[in-house]
Structures are given as structure tokens and as C-alpha cells.
Amino acid sequence: MAEQREVKGFQGFKVISISVAHFVHDSFTSILNIILPLLISKFGITLTMAGLLNLILRLPSLLNPLIGIVADRSAVRWYIILTPVISAVGMSLIGIAPNYTIAAILIFVVGISSSFFHVPAPVLIRNVSGARIGKGMSFYMLGGEAARTVGPLMIVAAVEIWTLEGIWKLIPFALAATIVLFFMLRKTASGKPVTPINNSRKERRKDLWKYTQTLMPVLLTISGITFFQALMKSALSAFLTVYLTDQGNSFSYAGILFSVFQFAGAASVLISGTWSDRIGRITMLQLAAITSPIFM
């Protein structure tokens, strides 16, 4: 990526700073599943149209390879600083969207912002984790999972106080968080693109193709695991609050149960990342791939 590998060794403050950015960002992007019952009622849409909103949010991830190329040529720390507030503003404005189309456009913008955050962030974590990459990634993933635990509680409280149309009042909190992130992350990395030395463009393309061929089996395997894990989690999370409210439960109750579901993920990523440093990444992936469908 565009950020050079910094100092060897685990750099705790920088790891925590990036993890906090992950927490701020995902605290807002996680609220879509919570407010789906309210959007269904407000816009009078079907469950299919409601489910499409989740698809629209994830659709920009298809641009991840292109975003990676852009990040290779720029200071990615600015993506980490700015994308949380962009995503927060987009999600907070959904409550005052006049119709389904405008809401979908806002969600698509949030999806683009989310991709610009999630593509370079793990690379920065790797750069500042030294040899303890598993521990660094566990902190990073904890930030995301904790956000999906706190986010539902935040939006439930906001709706209870201001109603769905008033959740735009969360924007000042996002702006304040961005200012804090700026001071935490402004020195995280040099921000200078890494330029290959004494290599022609043709040689660099040849090396890239060679590395791609070597890594392709690993990439395909991890992509397969990620895809099917995401299918299982999406099946549980996308309509959990809709199901609970349809069963006669209150919006607040549904949001709290969703938060409990996400809390389990927050606890597990902290443990699994550290364990992977001890028992190996492949073993950890195998355990996750076997146990997840059993428990489901």
C-alpha cells in the first residue's frame, strides 16, 4: 500500500488509534439493520426492497481492487480519518430521506466510503504490528465488532429521544470523533507512496503477475471462507430486528438483542486474533469454518 512499513515491533498506540477509527466508522454503518423495521414502515416497502438496501451498502465492495490501486498512490491515513465522518453523515441523513430512492443513494455513498476505509486500514495495522500481526488484527477487528455492539444501542437511544427523523442530530458527535481521530492518526505513517527503485514498469508488472499467481490459491480459499461466513452472518443479522418487531417485540428490545448478538463477535475476535499467533492462522480459519455452521 501507499504507507511504508514503519518501525519494527508492536506499536500499541497506533494500533489502538486505527482500531478506534474502525469503531467510529462501523458504529454508524451498523445501524442500517436496526432501523430496517422503521424504514419499512416509513416508505411502505416490501421485505425484498428492504433487503436490497443491505445489498446496495455492500455493492461498492466490488470496487475494492480499484480502490486498492488508488490507495497505493496516495496517503491512506486520510481515508482512515475522513471516511468515518462521511459514513456517519450519510447514515444519519437516512432518517430525513423523503423517499426510498434517496435513502438508497445515501446508503450507496456510505458503501463507497466504507470500502475506502476497509481496504487500506488492515494494511496500516500490519505496518504497525510488527511480528504480532494476529494481535494487531484482533484489536482492529475488536473495534469493528464493538462498534456493531454499541451502534445498535446508540441508534435505539437516538430514535427513542429524537425519533427516526431526528437521528441527523448524531452528526455533531461524528464530527467531534473525526477531530479526535485527526490528532490520533496524523502521524500514523509518512503518507508517502512507496516507489520501487531501479525497476522498470515492465518489470514491476511481471513481478505483480508472478506474485498474483503464487498467492491466488490462498486468496481464493480465504475469499471462499469469507463469502460463506458472511452469508451465515447476514442471514442472522439482516432481518433479525424485523423478525423480532413482527413478533410483537418493541424496537428497543430488538435493538438490544441485536447488540447482544454482535457482542459475542466482539469477544471472539479479540481471542481468535491472539490465538492465531500461537496455533497458526490456517488452524484458526479451519476452526471457524467448522464451528460456525454447527452453532448456526
pLDDT above 70: percentage of residues in the chain? 90
What's residue 6's pLDDT? Answer: 44
Reading phi first (left if > 0) and then psi (alpha if -120 to 50, else beta), residue 73 is in: alpha
Does 138 map to a domain?
A: yes
Does 231 map to a domain?
A: no
Query: 34-48, 76-90, 127-141: lowest mean pLDDT where?
Result: 127-141
Coil, strand, or helix at residue 3?
coil
What's residue 1's pLDDT? Answer: 43
Does 54 map to a domain?
A: yes
- Signed CA dihedral, 273, 279, 282, 284: sign only: negative
Whether the predicted pLDDT of 174 surpasses 80 = yes
Question: How far is the C-alpha of 166 from the C-alpha of 152, rounded, in Å?
Answer: 16
Torsion angles phi and psi, residue 97, rounded to 5: -60, 130
Give residue-wise pLDDT tens across range 278-287: 888 788 888 8
Whether the predicted pLDDT of 199 surpasses 80 = no
Q: Average pLDDT in the 103-131 region?
A: 92
Does 257 map to a domain?
A: yes
What's residue 218's pLDDT? Answer: 82
Structural domain span for residue 246: 12-193+239-295
Question: How far is the C-alpha of 8 from the C-alpha of 120, rounded, in Å?
Answer: 19
CATH, residue 55: 1.20.1250.20
Does 198 map to a domain?
A: no
Whether the predicted pLDDT of 72 surpasses 80 = no
What's residue 201's pLDDT? Answer: 58
Does 156 map to a domain?
A: yes
Question: How far is the C-alpha of 257 from the C-alpha of 240, rounded, in Å?
Answer: 9
Tell me how many domains the chain contains. Answer: 1
Tell me the angle at which helices 251-279 and 201-237 cross, rounded to the nearest 10 degrees.
140
Question: How far is the C-alpha of 296 from the C-alpha of 294, rounded, in Å?
Answer: 5
Whether the predicted pLDDT of 236 surpasses 90 = no
Q: Which residue has the higher pLDDT, 225 or 191?
A: 225
What's residue 203's pLDDT? Answer: 64
Does 275 map to a domain?
A: yes
Give residue-wise pLDDT tens across range 243-279: 999 999 999 999 999 999 888 877 787 777 778 878 8
Q: Average pLDDT in the 97-101 region?
A: 97
What's residue 3's pLDDT? Answer: 42
What's residue 247's pLDDT? Answer: 93
Question: How far is the C-alpha of 51 from the C-alpha of 108, rounded, in Å?
Answer: 14
What's residue 196's pLDDT? Answer: 40
Question: How far is the C-alpha of 196 from the C-alpha of 211, rounded, in Å?
Answer: 15
Question: How far is the C-alpha of 207 from the C-alpha of 232, rounded, in Å?
Answer: 37
The percent of the chain in helix, strand and coil, each rounded to the nearest 5, is: 80, 0, 20
Does 256 map to a domain?
A: yes
Give residue-wise pLDDT tens across range 25-62: 999 999 999 999 999 999 999 999 998 999 899 999 88
